[in-house]
């Protein structure tokens, strides 16, 4: 029999999950906007410069907006499906764990889109690991295996094929921001983090200091609009140990969203878009932050698909554990060393993925 205290705890977890993953959906939209920018510039910009020849190592041959259609893309059941993953490669073990996992399905005829955010703590018995480890373990098996395993894992959960995968690495944004000449970020709340990790100090014994103080620095941000270079901006989004609310995953996700907004605003500013050299440099740097299995021959079709998507309706959902008065599709079981290696995990409420797959199929059929 569940107690009132336990029920309150579960409901609070549910609301926190919902808040976190709605923010991840917003971040996913920014990820797709960045993909659109890179692909569109690769398709269009070389022709504007020198009639389709190679520009700065970017070959435009074989890419055409005229001959390629969104409906030519690989897809099934009248939809094209993407997996969007977000990682934060901070130079430490486990850096390829995916904090953001979004299934995105687009109808190429109407542009209507379904975005479904999946919690990173979903337990996959077939892997005996959490969903957010699939990209890491896949890459350990073979180069490029990360997207293969992550796509297969999401397909197993949702019962839907995943045609293309896209990974965005926040660490690569430092070069992008510096190339833009910095960005203007509106910091919502002041905060101080006295335990921000110093790169390269992860294994320093700090001369026997039991607190390992030499591994960290103190960083502070005042509330308000301010200019940030790449290094400063990444500290802003990576900070985990501030006091109070700013030390939560929710606040960190919000800061990531703020930074992405600032980057988007700067990229689409006139001083950047009318500078041909700057645009070519941005495409190069952007590609360093983006990993995808999207073949070059499909670039033009994806640009058209994203343009179509912007004209359609977007249905954003989360695969959650429910909220007050509503059962969700996932539950958090008691830690179990035999079943879940004592991890905090989420599993299907019904014991298998059938109910989830029916829910997703209904979403796609109605949008």
Is there a single domain that holds both residue 126 and residue 192? Answer: no
Q: How far apart are CA 266 and CA 227, in angstroms?
A: 12
Per-residue model confidence (pLDDT) at position 295: 86
pLDDT at 87: 84
pLDDT > 50? residue 206:
yes
Q: Are β-strands 129-130 and 164-169 bridged in parallel, bridged antiparallel, or unpaired?
A: unpaired
Q: In terms of domains, do 165 and 119 share one?
A: yes
Q: Show which of 273, 305, 320 is a domain's final residue.
A: 273
Per-residue confidence at 50, pLDDT binned at 50, 70, 90?
Answer: very low
The domain in which residue 35 lies consists of: 4-172+278-365
Q: What is the pLDDT of residue 149?
A: 97
User: Domain of 106: which CATH number?
Assistant: 3.30.420.590
Burial category of 209 from C-beta neighbours within 10 Å (exposed 0-12, middle 13-18, buried 19 and up): exposed
Domain count within the chain? 2
For residue 262, with 0-12 CB atoms within 10 Å meaning exposed, 13-18 middle and 19 or more buried, which class applies? Answer: buried
pLDDT digits (tens, 9 = 90+) for 252-281: 767 876 887 788 788 878 888 788 788 778
Domain boundary among 273, 288, 323: 273
- Using the predicted structure, report yes or no on whether residue 11 has a pLDDT greater than 60: no
Q: Are residues 267 and 289 in the same domain?
A: no
Verify that 202 and 144 share a domain, yes or no.
no
Q: Are residues 221 and 311 in the same domain?
A: no
pTM across the whole model: 0.71
What is the tens place of the pLDDT at every residue in 219-231?
Answer: 999 999 999 999 9
Alpha-carbon span 150 to 146, nearest angstrom: 6
Provide the pLDDT for residue 123: 95
- The yes-or-no verdict on residue 352 having pLDDT over 90 is yes
pLDDT at 86: 82
Share of the chain above pLDDT 90, in %: 31
Q: What is the pLDDT of residue 362?
A: 93
What is the C-alpha separation between 364 and 212, in angstroms, rounded? 51
* Span of 7-11, 87-91, 172-176 with lowest mean pLDDT: 7-11
**Per-residue pLDDT, 264:** 76
Residues 133, 231 within the same domain: no
Q: Are residues 167 and 185 in the same domain?
A: no
Q: For the segment 135-155, what is each residue's pLDDT rounded down to a tens digit?
A: 999 999 999 899 999 999 999
CATH code (residue 257):
3.40.630
Among 250, 273, 296, where does a domain finish?
Answer: 273
Mean pLDDT along residues 169-196: 89
Q: Is 332 helix (H, G, I), strand (E, B) or coil?
A: coil
**Residues paired with 191 in a beta bridge:** 221
Residues 216, 329 within the same domain:
no
Mean pLDDT of 2-14: 45
Burial track 117-132 (b if 16+ CB lie within 10 A, e otherwise): bbbbbbbbeebebbbb
Neighbours of 333 (CB within 10 A): 12
Do 113 and 145 belong together in one domain?
Answer: yes
Query: pLDDT digits over 297-342, tens only?
Result: 887 788 788 778 777 888 878 787 444 455 789 888 988 888 888 8
pLDDT value at 24 more than 70 = no
Q: Is there a single domain that holds both residue 282 and residue 220?
A: no
Rounded-to-integer distance, Cα 66 and Cα 123, Å: 44
Range with top average pLDDT, 24-28, 236-240, 255-259, 357-361:
357-361
321 and 256 share one domain: no
Q: Please give the sequence-ordered ranges of beta strands (E in DSSP) within the chain, or none if there are none.
A: 80-87, 98-106, 113-117, 123-124, 129-130, 164-169, 183-187, 191-197, 216-221, 224-228, 290-292, 314-318, 322-323, 326-327, 330-331, 347-348
Residues 48 and 141 reside in one and the same domain: yes
């Amino acid at each position: 029999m569940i107690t009132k205290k336990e029920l309150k705890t579960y409901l609070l977890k549910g609301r926190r999950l919902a808040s976190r993953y709605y923010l991840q959906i917003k971040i996913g939209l920014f990820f797709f906007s960045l993909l659109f920018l890179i692909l569109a510039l690769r398709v269009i910009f070389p022709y504007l410069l020198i009639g389709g020849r190679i520009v700065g190592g970017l070959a435009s041959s074989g890419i055409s907006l005229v001959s390629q259609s969104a409906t030519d893309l690989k897809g099934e059941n009248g939809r094209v499906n993407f997996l969007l993953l977000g990682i934060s490669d901070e130079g430490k073990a486990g850096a390829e764990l995916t904090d953001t996992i979004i299934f995105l399905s687009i109808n190429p005829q109407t542009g209507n889109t379904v975005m479904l955010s999946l919690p990173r703590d979903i337990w996959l018995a077939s892997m005996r690991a959490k969903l957010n480890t699939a990209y890491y373990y896949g890459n350990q098996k073979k180069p490029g295996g990360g997207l293969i395993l992550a796509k297969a894992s999401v397909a197993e959960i949702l019962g839907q094929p995943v045609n293309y995968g896209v990974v965005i690495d926040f660490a690569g944004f430092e070069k992008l921001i510096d190339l833009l000449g910095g960005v203007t970020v509106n910091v919502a709340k002041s905060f101080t983090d006295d335990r921000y990790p110093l790169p390269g100090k992860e294994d320093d014994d700090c001369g026997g200091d039991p607190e390992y103080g030499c591994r960290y620095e103190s960083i502070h941000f005042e509330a308000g609009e301010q200019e940030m270079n790449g290094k400063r901006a990444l500290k802003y989004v990576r900070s985990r140990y501030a006091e109070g609310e700013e030390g939560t995953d929710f606040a960190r996700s919000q800061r990531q969203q703020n930074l992405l907004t600032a980057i988007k605003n700067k990229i689409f500013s006139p001083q950047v878009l009318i500078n041909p050299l700057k645009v070519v440099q941005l495409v190069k740097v952007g590609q360093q932050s983006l990993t995808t299995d999207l073949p070059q021959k499909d670039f033009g079709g994806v640009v058209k698909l994203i343009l179509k998507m912007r004209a359609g309706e977007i249905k954003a959902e989360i695969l959650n554990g429910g909220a007050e008065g509503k059962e969700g599709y996932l539950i958090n079981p008691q830690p179990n060393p035999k079943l879940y290696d004592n991890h905090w995990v989420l599993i299907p409420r019904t014991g298998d993925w059938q109910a989830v797959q029916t829910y997703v199929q209904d979403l796609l059929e109605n949008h």
